């Protein structure tokens, strides 16, 4: 009888521990990587200059208002505000956030006052072009995604983990300024969009 009671107690303890671990995993929204001592975003809010390849498909090129080939800087994007999602194909929190990020994109596209003023792109931290395209297909992402295999852009943006969301005020030919920086996913898409609109000055 005593052995049976001990067995039941051990099983109950294991169940509690598993439930606690499951709850902790469910609450996690951010996957850190690299050196925790890396600098945080600069107080100046200025986004350092970086270039991306002009998308090869016409949908992405048209969406961003670009033409031709080669590289471009984000100031050339035809919009007033850019939302950058830094993600990773291997990040479970990015995978969980994908549906909400897609919903954010759709809400912007369905709003006549926002769709020409706000654009979105994704930067695949430590991802190859193959991994980025696989992520796009698996999670049905409709906005442009770019690989960042050597982490150069990720480091330039002071990103410490994924997903990270950065709001940038665009200035063609000038400096780009950051007004929004959020580490981790979000559940309330409309609340997030309202915050971005208000902080960007579009409201």
* Nearest of 145, 161, 193 to residue 28 by alpha carbon: 161
Sequence length of the chain is: 203
- What pLDDT band is residue 203 in, cutting at 50, 70 and 90? confident
Q: Which pair of structure tokens corresponds to residue 100?
A: 């909400």
% of the chain beyond a pLDDT of 90: 71
104 falls within a domain: yes
Contacts 24+ apart (CB under 8 A), 179-188: 179/45, 180/83, 181/41, 183/30, 184/29, 184/30, 184/93, 185/29, 185/30, 185/93, 185/94, 185/96, 185/97, 185/100, 185/101, 186/29, 186/97, 186/100, 187/100
Report the pLDDT value the prediction gives residue 24, as an integer from 0 to 100.
31
CA 144/CA 60 separation, integer angstroms: 6
**Mean of per-residue pLDDT scores for the chain:** 85
Q: Give the CATH number, domain containing residue 77.
A: 3.40.30.10
Q: Mean pLDDT throughout 172-190? A: 89
pLDDT of res. 9 = 38
- Decide if 8 is inside a domain: no
58 within some domain: yes
Assess whether pLDDT exceeds 70 at residue 181: yes
- Please answer whether residues 178 and 159 qualify as being in contact, where contact means their C-beta atoms are separated by less than 8 angstroms: no
Please, are residues 85 and 123 in contact by the beta-carbon 8 Å criterion? Answer: yes
What residue numbers bound the domain in which 126 lies?
31-200
Label residues 63-94 b or e (16+ Cβ within 10 Å = b): bbebeeeeebebbbbebbbbbbbbbbbbbebb
Q: Please say if the pLDDT value at position 20 is more than 90.
A: no
pTM, two decimal places: 0.82
- The answer to whether residue 181 is domain-embedded is yes
In a domain, 24, yes or no: no
Over residues 27-71, the pLDDT tens digits come to 467 677 665 556 666 556 888 889 999 999 999 999 999 999 999
Query: What total of structural domains would you count in the chain?
Result: 1
**26, part of any domain:** no
Q: Is 20 helix (H, G, I), strand (E, B) or coil?
A: helix
Evaluate whether residue 155 is within a structural domain: yes
Mean pLDDT of 86-108: 97
> Does 9 map to a domain?
no
Report pLDDT for 76: 94
């Amino acid at each position: 009888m005593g052995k049976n009671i001990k067995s039941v107690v051990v099983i109950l303890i294991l169940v509690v521990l598993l439930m606690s671990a499951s709850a902790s995993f469910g609450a996690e929204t951010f996957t850190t990587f690299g050196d925790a001592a890396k600098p945080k975003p600069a107080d100046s809010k200025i986004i350092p200059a970086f270039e991306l390849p002009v998308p090869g498909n016409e949908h992405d090129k048209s969406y961003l208002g670009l033409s031709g080939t080669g590289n471009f800087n984000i100031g050339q994007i035809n919009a007033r505000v850019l939302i950058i999602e830094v993600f990773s194909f291997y990040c479970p929190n990015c995978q969980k956030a994908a549906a909400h990020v897609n919903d954010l994109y759709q809400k912007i596209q369905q709003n006549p006052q926002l769709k020409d003023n706000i654009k979105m792109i994704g930067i695949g931290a430590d991802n190859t072009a193959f991994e980025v395209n696989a992520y796009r297909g698996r999670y049905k992402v409709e906005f442009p995604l770019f690989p960042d295999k050597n982490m150069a852009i990720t480091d330039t943006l002071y990103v410490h983990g994924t997903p990270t969301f950065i709001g940038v005020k665009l200035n063609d030919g000038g400096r780009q300024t950051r007004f929004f920086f959020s580490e981790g996913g979000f559940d309330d898409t409309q609340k997030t969009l309202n915050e971005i609109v208000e902080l960007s000055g579009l409201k």
